[in-house]
Amino acid sequence: MGESLKKKWKNNVIHGQYIRNIDRQLISEEDTFLWLSKGDLKAENESEIVAAQYQALQTKYYATKILNTGTDSKCRLCQQFDETIDNIISACPVLTKEQYIKRHDSVHNYA
């Protein structure tokens, strides 16, 4: 990808979330595209995953920063961090106490 196009993508408030996370090494570009290349997802599931990847799901952060609602963007559970997709799925201290362990154990049991 051309550097100017990548810079333009990165500077986009919504769609730039993905490329900024790759640059910060929070996610792997190869792993992200793996599920797309298989082609075994239903269209509605793929669209939800892409929306989550672009931080475009209806979170408090999205409402505040993208929709400009003027509301507080802090997580409704922990009130410490912005309520982003990243916070919900892996960083919220309230969820780490119980829900992440349950999710881990349920995935581990299927392996």
Count of domains observed in the chain: 2
Best CA proximity match to 18, nearest among 62, 65, 53, 51: 53
85 found inside a domain = yes
The domain in which residue 110 lies consists of 73-111
pLDDT tens sequence across 17-44: 666 766 666 555 565 556 556 667 777 7
pTM of the model: 0.53
Task: Verify that 13 and 40 share a domain, yes or no.
Answer: yes
Alpha-carbon distance of 60 to 39, in angstroms, equals 31
Q: Which residues contact 49 (CB under 8 A, 6 or more apart)?
A: 35, 41
44 found inside a domain = yes
Pick out the chain residues at pLDDT < 50: none
Contact assessment for residue 32 and residue 53, using Cβ atoms and an 8 Å cutoff: yes
